[in-house]
Structure formats: C-alpha cells, structure tokens
C-alpha cells in the first residue's frame, strides 16, 4: 500500500470541468450551477478547481469570484492569456480566494505562431515571462501552459519553460491541445523536457490531454509513468471538441492499479457517481451507456456466462466494486443473452418459487419476450408468472394473427387457432384491429360471448413497455375473466380474449 505521506507519489488532480468542460458546444452554466458543481468537486476532493476564464465574459468573472469566496479548502484557478488585461481580470476575480492560482498560457507551436498569434518565437518567450511576473502580483502559485505543446519544437519548449520557471512559475503544463499525441511519443517528449529544462526540478509538471484521437486518458497515464505529477481533466470527459481526459477514468485507473503504478490521488472515489450525475444534469451532456466507470452499463451484465460467473464470484467479471464509487450494486440485466441461472436468481429475489415444469415454461416465455423487448425488468417477470403460468386448460391455442388497419381502410384481422391438433382460420372486419380480432375469434370458437369490460395498462415504463390486457366476457349469464400480455397491445388483447374463451370451455366441461 502506498503511503499518502509520500508526496512524490501523489498525482494532483486539476479539474477543468468548469472552464474547458464548459467550453463544450451547447453547455451554458450560470453562476449558481457552477457553484453547485464546484461544491461537489470539493467533496470529490480534487486538488485544484479551475473555475473559469474571467476575461471571457461577465458571467465567467462572477462565477470565479463567487466560487473563490465560497470554497476555501483547496486551490481555485482562473485562466488568462499571456497579456496584462487577462491576468488583471483573473487576479481581481480571485481576490477572495485563500489559495488562488492564475493559469496563464500562450501558444508554442510554429503553426499557431504563424497563423494565429502572428508572432516570432522570441516575442512569445518575452510575453510568457512577463505574464508570469504579472501573475505573481496576485498569487504565489502561477501555472504556465504552452498551448499546442505536442506540435511544438521540443528545444523551443524547453527554452520557454526555463524562462517561465525563472520568472516564478510553480507549475508548467504540457498540453496536447488538439489531441495529436500518441502515448509512446508523448512519453519521449516528456523525458526530453525533464532532461533539457533547467530548473524543472523545482516545478510541478502537468499535462492537459484532449481526446480527439481517443487517447486523452492513455496519454495522461503515460505522462504519469514518465514523472508528471499533475493531470488536468474533466468530469465525464467533457470539453472542447471530443473532450478532455476523463477524471473518473484516471482516478479509478490509479486507484485500481496503484500497486503497479506506484502513485495515488486524494480523490474521494465514493463521490464519483454523484459528481458525474450532477455534471450530466446541469450541462445536459448525456453520458454514453458504455462509458467507463459512470456509464449505465459499466456495472451491468447480460451475457449468460458473465451472469453465471457474477453469481458465483463478483470478481470474475468486475475489477471495481460499484459500492466504492457510489453505486448500490452491480446489475444483472435480464435479456435475450441471459441464462437460466440469472433468471432463477431474479425469481428468488422477487420471492417467486416455481416447480420445475413451470420454471421451464416461464424461462421459455422470458426468452421469447426478451427477443422482442430487449431488457426485461422485474414488472415484466411478475407479469410473465402471473399471466402465463395460470393453470388454464388450452382448448384454443393461438398460432398466428395478422391485422390491417389505417385511417382510410376498414380494420381487418385474420386469426389462426389450433383446436385439437387442427388449425382453424377466421377473418373479420371491425371497428379497429382489436374489435376485428375478437370477431374473427368468435367465428372460429363459435361461442356467443359479450364483452363486458376491457382494460389495458402498461406493466413497465418506456416505449417498449409490456402491455397487459384484462377483459371480462359474459355468456349464458356467466362472466369470466381473461388476460394476456405482450409488447404488442393487439396481441395482448387477442391472448386475453382466447384466454377467456378457454375458461368458458373449461367451465362447461
């Protein structure tokens, strides 16, 4: 176990959810929402909260100011370009912060210098040094970033970092601004910077990786293995374009593999799910179901082999305990890939016990339903047991049905019913597909029954909800009930009506 007293092994988490994350297209957080996220980030125990870019807008300035005044137990950072106006705005916004950080930056790649800044390398070196010195007017912790570092000349980068360190920068940041780096190359670059930058041993070296090629987390991890001790990331990986390195992924990689990596963070992993949910809710950015750590499928299992393993020993298919990050438990999702063991286990959880014959029948019905519906929930399972396993003698067995209906045509239904081994077919029209189907059934069964009550309800939620139909019919002064379930409400109605016909025949035997 790594001692938390060994600060050389600590990875500082610089969270940029409220700055780079909020720059993602379509995200517009107000000051109240930013403060709510910042307070949750404090509970998550990130080391630095980058609260915003004060010069960019009045609301950003106010957000940084508000967060600085409320959160006193960790560092609050504000972004500023390498010019006096930006830095003064950042310093003013951070005035009430107990641990302020000014994060100043300038481009370092020749492509940025030529087309965006229109400045020479020497001009950039001078501006960078001046920016750091100006920032020290407001705080003793200045972070300097060389924008587009991974497409910059390595020798020039080292010169740039030497100047800002001499000027008083405490942190130097190596951003992969456009997500261009690949891990091995990034590692070699970091090694070169460590070996060729005078004074770097007195600074914290940081990385800020974007995910344009899907390598933000991999590159951040490679940087850690090459001696970097601060990573800049965002909750749910949000940010410009394809986003930033995902905070929760990095935190859980380090926590899960800390013995092998030899490093640790101070992240309170028990707050990961709550933090992700708050950011998702307030930004409106949906988390993909298959997103690592926080996606809804991250701790869900449907395949029969996996479910069987999970029931025997959780660690067979899970390397993280869901309870550790704020979830109640793993989920065994019942679907078409699920096996008998998982189905039996879910029945037991619901307090349902079936004899072997009924269990086989229920499992067969479950698999049929799963093919149509996908995931099967507890309400669906209860409905299968209650509606499909009732002891009703089947004189009439539904074999097939076909309906035609529309706004400009008369509803028509064709039903095929097996009676004593022979299939009989009936066709009828009616006032809608259900009425037409009932009349077609009447033709086949030759039972003179009157529909007394028809009730339909959704067994579960969603567009693919299982529908339950319950009916009451009367014949010769006697009322009987019939019920049926299906994802298709017409099919559920047909099943319910045939069920009622079977009960009528059974009662007359």
Residue 310 has pLDDT above 60, yes or no: no
Q: Give me the pLDDT at residue 359, please.
A: 79
How large is the average pLDDT for residues 332-359? 70
Specify whether the CB–CB gap between 171 and 142 falls below 8 A.
yes
Residue 3 has pLDDT above 50, yes or no: no
pTM: 0.72
Rounded distance, CA 300 to CA 311, Å? 13
C-alpha closest to that of 232 among 287, 175, 310: 175
CA distances from 159 to 115, 120, 142, 188, 383 (A): 22, 14, 18, 17, 71
How large is the average pLDDT for residues 128-153? 98
How large is the average pLDDT for residues 372-392? 62
pLDDT band at 318 (very low <50, low <70, confident <90, very high): confident
- Say if strands 204-209 and 171-176 run parallel, antiparallel, or are unpaired: parallel
Most confident residue range from 171-185, 297-311, 384-398, 433-447: 171-185
Rounded distance, CA 470 to CA 483, Å? 4
pLDDT band at 118 (very low <50, low <70, confident <90, very high): very high
Rounded distance, CA 13 to CA 239, Å? 16
Q: Give me the pLDDT at residue 4, please.
A: 40
CB-neighbour burial class of residue 215 (10 A; exposed 0-12, middle 13-18, buried 19+): buried
What are the DSSP E strand ranges found in 138-287?
142-147, 171-176, 204-209, 230-233
State the Cα angle at 326 between 322 and 327, rounded to 5°: 50
Specify whether the CB–CB gap between 104 and 131 falls below 8 A.
yes
Residue 333 has pLDDT above 80, yes or no: no
**CATH annotation of 396-508:** 3.30.160.270
Rounded distance, CA 135 to CA 129, Å? 10
Among 116-125, 301-310, 409-418, name the one with the lowest average pLDDT.
301-310
Q: Give me the pLDDT at residue 130, please.
A: 98
CB atoms within 10 A of CB 166: 13
Residue 43 has pLDDT above 80, yes or no: yes
The mean of the pLDDT values for the chain is 88
Residue 364 has pLDDT above 70, yes or no: yes
How large is the average pLDDT for residues 445-472? 79
pLDDT band at 509 (very low <50, low <70, confident <90, very high): low
CB-neighbour burial class of residue 155 (10 A; exposed 0-12, middle 13-18, buried 19+): exposed
Residue 342 has pLDDT above 60, yes or no: yes
Note the pLDDT tens digit of each residue in 201-215. Answer: 999 999 999 999 999
344 or 167, greater pLDDT: 167
Residue 230 has pLDDT above 60, yes or no: yes
Q: Give me the pLDDT at residue 486, please.
A: 82
Q: Do domains 7-283 and 396-508 have the same CATH topology?
A: no
Residue 2 has pLDDT above 50, yes or no: no
C-alpha closest to that of 16 among 51, 42, 41, 47: 51
pLDDT band at 334 (very low <50, low <70, confident <90, very high): low
How large is the average pLDDT for residues 34-59? 97
Rounded distance, CA 29 to CA 289, Å? 24
Q: Delimit the domains of the chain by residue range.
A: 7-283, 300-388, 396-508
121 CB contacts (<8 Å, ≥6 apart)? 113, 156
pLDDT band at 461 (very low <50, low <70, confident <90, very high): low
Q: Give me the pLDDT at residue 367, please.
A: 72
pLDDT band at 460 (very low <50, low <70, confident <90, very high): low
How large is the average pLDDT for residues 501-508? 79
Structure tokens at 290: 């298959």
Q: Give me the pLDDT at residue 464, please.
A: 60
CB atoms within 10 A of CB 205: 21
Q: Give me the pLDDT at residue 393, please.
A: 64
Specify whether the CB–CB gap between 384 and 370 falls below 8 A.
no
**CATH annotation of 7-283:** 3.20.20.70
pLDDT band at 1 (very low <50, low <70, confident <90, very high): very low
Percent of the chain surpassing pLDDT 70: 86
**Count of alpha carbons within 13 angstroms of residue 321, beta-carbon side:** 5
Specify whether the CB–CB gap between 82 and 127 falls below 8 A.
yes
Residue 239, classed as helix, strand or coil, is: coil
């Amino acid at each position: 176990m790594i001692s938390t007293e060994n600060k050389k092994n600590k990875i500082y988490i610089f969270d940029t959810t409220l700055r780079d994350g909020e720059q993602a297209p379509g995200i517009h957080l107000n000051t109240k929402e930013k403060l709510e996220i910042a307070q949750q980030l404090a509970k998550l125990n990130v080391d630095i909260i980058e609260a915003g870019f004060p010069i960019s807008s009045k609301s950003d300035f106010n957000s940084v100011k508000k967060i600085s005044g409320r959160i006193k137990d960790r560092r609050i950072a504000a972004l500023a370009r390498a010019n006096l106006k930006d830095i003064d705005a950042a310093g003013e916004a951070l005035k009430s912060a107990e641990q302020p950080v000014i994060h100043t930056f300038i481009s370092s790649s020749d492509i940025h210098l030529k087309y965006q800044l229109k400045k020479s390398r020497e001009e950039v070196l001078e501006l960078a040094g001046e920016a750091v010195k100006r920032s020290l007017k407001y705080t003793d912790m200045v972070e300097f970033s060389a924008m587009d570092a991974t497409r910059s000349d390595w020798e020039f980068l080292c010169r740039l970092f030497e100047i800002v360190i001499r000027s008083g920068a405490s942190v130097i940041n190596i951003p992969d601004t456009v997500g261009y780096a690949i891990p091995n190359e990034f590692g070699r670059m970091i090694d070169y910077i460590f070996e060729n930058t005078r004074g770097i041993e007195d600074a914290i070296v940081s990385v800020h990786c974007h995910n344009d090629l899907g390598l933000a987390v991999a590159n951040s991890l490679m940087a850690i293995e090459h001696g970097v001790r601060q990573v800049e990331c965002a909750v749910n990986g949000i940010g410009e374009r394809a986003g930033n390195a995902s905070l929760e992924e990095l935190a859980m990689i380090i926590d899960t593999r800390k013995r092998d990596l030899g490093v640790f963070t101070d992240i309170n992993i028990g707050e990961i799910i709550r933090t992700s949910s708050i950011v998702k809710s307030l930004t409106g950015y949906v988390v993909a179901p298959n997103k690592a750590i926080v996606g809804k499928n991250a701790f869900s299992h449907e395949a029969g082999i996996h479910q069987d393993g999970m029931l025997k020993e959780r660690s067979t298919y899970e390397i993280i305990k869901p309870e550790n990050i704020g979830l109640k438990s793993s989920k065994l999702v019942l679907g078409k890939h699920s096996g008998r063991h998982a189905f039996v286990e879910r029945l037991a959880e619901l307090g349902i016990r079936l004899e072997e014959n009924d269990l086989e029948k229920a499992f067969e019905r479950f698999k049929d339903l799963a093919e149509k519906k996908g995931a099967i929930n507890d309400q669906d399972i209860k409905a299968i047991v209650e509606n499909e396993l009732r002891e009703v003698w089947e004189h009439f067995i539904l074999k097939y049905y076909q309906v035609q209906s529309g706004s400009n045509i008369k509803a028509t239904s064709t039903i095929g019913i097996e009676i004593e081994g022979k299939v009989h077919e009936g066709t009828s029209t009616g006032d809608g597909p259900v009425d037409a189907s009932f009349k077609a059934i009447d033709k086949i069964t030759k039972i003179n029954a009157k529909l007394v009550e028809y009730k339909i309800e959704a067994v579960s939620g969603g567009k693919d909800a299982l529908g339950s139909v319950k009916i009451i019919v009367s014949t010769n002064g006697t009322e009987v009930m019939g019920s049926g379930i299906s994802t298709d409400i017409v099919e559920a109605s047909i099943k319910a009506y045939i069920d009622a016909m079977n009960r009528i025949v059974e009662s007359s035997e």
